[in-house]
Amino acid sequence: MLELQLTSGESENFFHLTVTGQLESAYFPMGPDGSGLFCRYDIVAGPDWELVSGLRSAVTQSARTETDYRTVVFNMPIEFTMKSTNPYGWPQIVFSLYGANIWNVETNRGYARVHCPLSGGGGTSAERTIRAPLFIPKYSNMCSAAMSWISGVNPEMRDPKILTDGSKHKGLACETYGELVIRLQSISRGTSQMALDWGQTTVDDRNY
């Protein structure tokens, strides 16, 4: 059982969210396009969220396919705790996948994002297995697209964190290939004192 240590009076002003889990693997129906794949993740949250413990970003080891040519296993642990005064800007995790092409040049192999799962409330955890589609940005003009195909270098996003804001990547041309398998669980503390209800409890469990 996960436990959060709160200082005196802090639970009246903040609630805490602890997220644990791991980036398990990347799955490609016909195998990955590149070799030596590695993935970076970044935690993105609203302005009222503060990271209490854990890493805001991290990078996996380089991995290759083994017995199953469609699956690349990372088993990268994810663990962090955040606090906030309100649920606006609920934490999201942005993943950036990279690998070498046939010319042994490093290029991006896709991006994905997921919302952290809602806590069960009351100190209980909620575990989710998420299969997040990977999408690769594409050039909008034929000349640049042809050069990208010849060189094997895909266009990269300057700041992948904009994926958490739908208004900032509207109209982005991309294609989808593969998915990331992520297992996450969350637990919250201090939500009842702030009258927050995630809607995860049944009618019989509510206190009237």
CA atoms within 13 A on the CB side of 108: 21
Question: Does 86 or 122 have the greater pLDDT score?
Answer: 86
Contact 94, 113 (CB under 8 A): yes
Planar angle of CA 147, 149, 150, nearest 5 degrees: 65
Contact 175, 9 (CB under 8 A): no
Can you give the pTM of this predicted structure? 0.81
Q: How far is CA 119 from CA 109, 164, 172, in A?
A: 31, 20, 32
For position 124, what pLDDT does the model report?
Answer: 55
Q: How many CB atoms neighbour CB 185 within 10 A?
A: 18
Kindly state the helix (H) or strand (E) to which residue 147 belongs, with its residue range: helix 142-151
Residue 146 DSSP SS3: helix
Q: Is the pLDDT of residue 107 over 80?
A: yes
Q: Which residues, at least 6 apart from 47, have a Cβ–Cβ distance to it below 8 Å? A: 89
Q: How far is CA 85 from CA 49, 126, 146, 195, in A?
A: 8, 21, 49, 12
Taking the mean position of all CA atoms in its chain, how far away is CA 141?
Answer: 30
pLDDT tens-digit profile of 133-178? Answer: 999 888 777 887 777 677 777 878 888 888 888 777 777 778 889 9
Q: Is the pLDDT of residue 201 over 70?
A: no
Structure tokens at 151: 């060189």
Residues 120-132, mean pLDDT to the nearest whole number? 72
For position 31, what pLDDT does the model report?
Answer: 84
Question: In the chain, what are the domains?
Answer: 15-191 (2.60.40.150)
Residues 2-6, mean pLDDT to the nearest whole number? 48
Q: How far is CA 144 from CA 87, 137, 150, 177, in A?
A: 42, 12, 10, 20
Structure tokens at 36: 């030596």
Q: Is the pLDDT of residue 112 over 90?
A: yes
* Confidence band of 200 (pLDDT split at 50, 70, 90): low
Measured distance CA(53)–CA(136) in Å, rounded: 31
Q: How many CB atoms neighbour CB 196 within 10 A?
A: 14
